[in-house]
Structures are given as C-alpha cells and as structure tokens.
Structure 1
Amino acid sequence: MCRNLEKVANTSKSGAIVCSETPILLVGGGQIGPDDMNLALNRVKTLVAADSGGAAILAEGRVPDAVIGDFDSLERVSRELIPPERLFPIREQDSTDFDKALRNIEAPLVLGLGFLGARVDHQLAVFNALVRHADRPCLLLGEREVIFHAPPRIRLELEPGSVVSLFPLARVTGRSEGLEWPIEGLVFEPDGQVGTSNRATGAVRLEVDAPGLLVMVPRGALDQVMRAFLSGRIGRWPVRAG
C-alpha cells in the first residue's frame, strides 16, 4: 500500500485516494466534543477530512493529510491553509462527503469523528454508507457510544450491564453469547425486529450471517472495539457488487 499521503491519488490497485497500513482518523464537519479530537489523536495519527472536517482539524492546530469531498462546505480561507496536493475534490452530488471519503480510503480501520449528533438525515446517510461499504471497517465515535457495522464475527470484553444495541439496515440473522437477551433464532429487519437496549452480561460474542447490522456500544469500549477490528479475527465482508 502507498504510505506517502502527499502522493497517493490513484496509486493503489483499487484506485483509492488514501492508503495506509495503520488506522486512519476521518473527520467530518458535524458535532465534535471538546475532548473528542484529543481522544482520537491518542489512538490514530493520520488525519483525513471529509470536506468541512478540514476546518475542524485546522482548528486543532493540525493540517489534514488529505481532504476528500465535493468542497461545497470547506470555506476558501480553510482551503488556502491546506497544501493543494492534499486536496482531492470529487464533484458528483449523488453521494455524501462521508461516502466519498470512506470508499476512497484503504486502511485496516477508519475512526470517524464528526459524523454523529447533528442532523438526523446526515446520520442516516452515514449509516447507509457504512452498510454499502461493508468492506471498509469504520468506527463512529459519538458523545455516548461507538457505532460500527457488524463484521462476520466479533468478541468484546464489555463491562456487565453495558448497553449493546443492534439495529438492522437489512435482513440479518445471527448468534450471540454474553447478551442478556440472546439473538439466535431472531430475524432482524428495518421494518421488523430490532435489538435496541440489550445488555452485556460479560464478554460478548456476536456472529452475523450477512452484512447490514449496526452495533452500538458505550463510548468507553472504544479501545476494546479497535483491538477487535485490528486483531485479524473478525472476518471481512466482500466488496459489494455494483
């Protein structure tokens, strides 16, 4: 994979803009708490912005390694502070800036910041992109939770009583251990069975049979989730056809 983010445009086999062998922080222009950036930067060093997320990175005294988006919300004063070789405009309007960025990043894990807690329609579009790009592992950091698209299998060492919510964006079945209400035998569907406000009884194991299930765990479990995704033991969903 390419490592020099100043010279990464179209250099990977898949045509991705940004490539890294280590996790990447992707910053959006939505709600970011006062400690969120420091928390993320203690875990991930490479900074990519989705459009106006570039201004949030600049406000922290950093310069993004790359900015991806249609550039309809990153103000000129911010663009002028970013080297032009780090700006990667994608002008089409059929997808969100989060979608544009996520599908053009190749990394073992993306930590997304600034994509939750603002407009509901924006959040729904982000969740939609998580499922459509299921082959691109991404964790979203919110004010109270970490949200991710369920991989084929995952094990998390959660504190007993921790809330574990499961919300389907497609028809999904699976199995679980360590949940107060096991999911085996259930069929999750957006207009049917959902799994909000389940609770961990200890270590949680989830297996799902298809992509489409969002998992929400407490924010304090971020390190647990990151380790699980980087362990190489969770499996990967294939690239979605079309």
Structure 2
Amino acid sequence: MYILDDLAMDTVNQWHWNPCEFLDATKEQLKYAVIILNRPITVRRDVMASLWNRAQVRMTVDGGTKCWHEFVTAEGHASEVIDSPSPHVICGDLDSLPMEMLECYPQARVTRTPDQDETDFTKSLRVLDEYLVEKRLEVDAAVAVCDWSGRPDQVLGNVSTLLRAAGEPGAAPVFLLAESSLTWLLPAGSHVLEVPARLREGRCWCSLAPVGRPARCVSTSGLRWDLDHRELEFGKLVSTSNKFSGEPRVTVRTDSPLVWSMGLGYISD
C-alpha cells in the first residue's frame, strides 16, 4: 500500500476504478444494479437501454417509476430496444407516484419505505441490499440514473447518499449517471482511475471536491492541474473545472473522502 508521509495513518486503502466499463454494451459479464431516481431521464437512449438490459437488478424509486415509464413509451422511439421494461423492484414512500402507474408493472415487487428521515434514494440502497440477499445475488456496483439540473436540494441529497453508502461495510460502490457525466465517492486512500482514450484525448473535464469534512492532504497525477499535498475545503480550494492531462490513468491520494465527477464526452460514440 502507499505510504502518505503527511497523514496520521501508516497505510491506506487502495482502490482501482474502471467505471466506464458498465457503459460499454459489449461488457455482458459485468454485475451491477441500475436505479432510476425521480428526475427526467436525460441519458442518451441507446446508452440507457443497454445499461438497463444488462443489469442484474433493475429498480425504480418512487416518481422515478413514472420517469422510466415515460422514457420507455416516448413517442418516436422503438420500445423494442428495452428487453424487459418492468423493474424488479419499485420502492419509496410513493408520494410522487400515481397509483395507477403500478398497474403498468404488475410483475414488479413494490416496497414502501415511509421513513421521512432519509431520502428515497438512501432507502432504495437498503432495499437493494435486502433484495440481493434474498435472491442470493451479488453486484459490483449500483448505478443511479439522476439529473443535475433544476433541483439543487436533490443534488445535495444525492451527494449525501454517496457519503452514507460508502460508510456501509461491504457495500458496493454507488455511481451517479447523468446526461453526460459520472460521479462517485473516492474514500480516504489511494486510487487509480482508468481514463478511456476518448476522454483523455479530448481533455474532458473532471473535478475533485471534499465532502463531509476538509481534505487536508490530496495529491494527484494525470490531471492538467495536479495537486501536490494540497488541502481541499469548501470556501477555500476546490478542484473543479480540471481536465485530464492525456495520461491513461489518474491517481488520487487523499486522507478524506472526495467526490469525483467527470464528463463522458460521449465515450460510447
């Protein structure tokens, strides 16, 4: 493991990320769950259809069920590209879902989670874990389809859920997939991120932001503006609007959780 001289720890966890793999339609062997949140689906249709079709578990969260139904039945699109439109699980407090919508998916399991102290997204991850245990399934990641426009409260809630999910022992990583970006949490430790050629050749944007508390020691390689034992804190330095340097990998070493976000640019073209 890497040794971070400036940290109060002797060793740190190592993580290797190749997150764009699950957007590759040829990667049939990947095991992941897809979660549709209550926002309009702006992910490109062919990408969304492939992501849904290859998922081991498919979930819609509250009003996300309506968003999914509108996506599937959108005028001018062939619904045949969706192999099985019905989610395995519909969950949430269901206050944003017309009850007649449930009749469209009679095969789906409906799990009500009325607790108002947590967001439906947070609760959906718990429902997912319970479903995986019951069905004796395993996934390597959960991909939540979201949207970053219009509702800053939901954006903040989603980031909070990333932090909470990372604190669950043995939990699979959670990714937020928006129209043309991918976001996830980098826990304290050492990270290697594989960068697809299309993204690094186009010098696509990327960013690092602390969450939960300041990160007092962050070092990177493979970015246009690398960090060398720098402190990241809201109100001070935050590494937004960064870019890839052109190297095939980015490395990040941090003593505190960071939210990593990157443009997709679009990698599947």
Query: Normalising TM by the smaller chain, what interval?
Result: 0.7 to 0.9
Please state whether the residue corresponding to 2:200 is helix, strand or coil.
coil
Q: Is the 8 A contact 1:163 1:200 kept in 2?
A: yes
Name the residue aligned to 1:240: none
Counterpart for residue 175 of structure 2 = 139
Q: Which amino acid aligns with 2:154?
A: H
CA positional deviation for 1:52: 1.1
2:153 partner SS: helix
2:68 to 39, 57, 65: 57
Q: 2:205 aligns with which of 146, 159, 163?
A: 163
1:26 aligns with 2:35: yes
Change beyond 3 A, Cα 1:114–1:74 = same
Which piece of structure 1 moves more, 74-83 or 202-211? 202-211
Q: 1:109 to 1:28 in 2, by over 3 A?
A: same
Match of 1:227 in 2: none
What is the CA–CA distance in structure 2 between the aligned matches of 1:42 and 1:52, rounded to whole Å?
22
Match of 1:133, SS state, is helix
Partner Cα separation in structure 2 for residue 210 and residue 78 of structure 1: 46
CA contact (8 A) 2:221 2:251 kept: yes
* SS across alignment from 1:54: helix
**Does the CA contact (< 8 Å) of 1:31 and 1:117 recur in 2?**
no
1:204 paired with 2:249, answer yes
* Cα-Cα RMSD: 2.3
Q: CA deviation at 1:65?
A: 0.8
Normalised to the residue count of structure 1, the TM-score between the two structures is: 0.74
Structure 1 residue 121, shift from structure 2 partner: 0.8
Higher Rg: 2
Aligned to 1:188: 232
Identity percentage of aligned residues: 23
- 2: CA distance between counterparts of 1:36 and 1:95? 30
Can you give the 5+ residue segments of structure 1 that lack an aligned partner in the other structure? 1-20, 224-242
CA distance in 2, matches of 1:36, 1:88: 28
Contact 2:147 2:179 (C-alpha < 8 Å) held by counterparts: no
**How do 1:98-177 and structure 2 match up within 5 A?**
98-106=121-129, 107-134=139-166, 135-151=171-187, 152=189, 153-157=191-195, 158-160=199-201, 161-169=203-211, 170-172=213-215, 173-177=217-221
- Going from structure 1 to structure 2, the CA distance change for 1:37 and 1:101 (only over 3 Å counts) comes to farther
SS of the counterpart of 1:123? helix
Spell out the pairing of 1:90-105 with structure 2 (5 A cutoff): 90-105=113-128
Distance in structure 2 (CA, Å) of the matches to 1:137 and 1:81 = 31
207 and 105 in structure 1: CA distance in 2 versus 1, 3 angstrom threshold? farther
Gaps of 5+ in 2: 1-29, 74-84, 130-138
Q: Give the equivalent residue in structure 1 for 2:102.
A: 79
Relative to 1, partners in 2 of residues 1:194 and 1:103: Cα closer, same or farther, differing over 3 Å?
farther
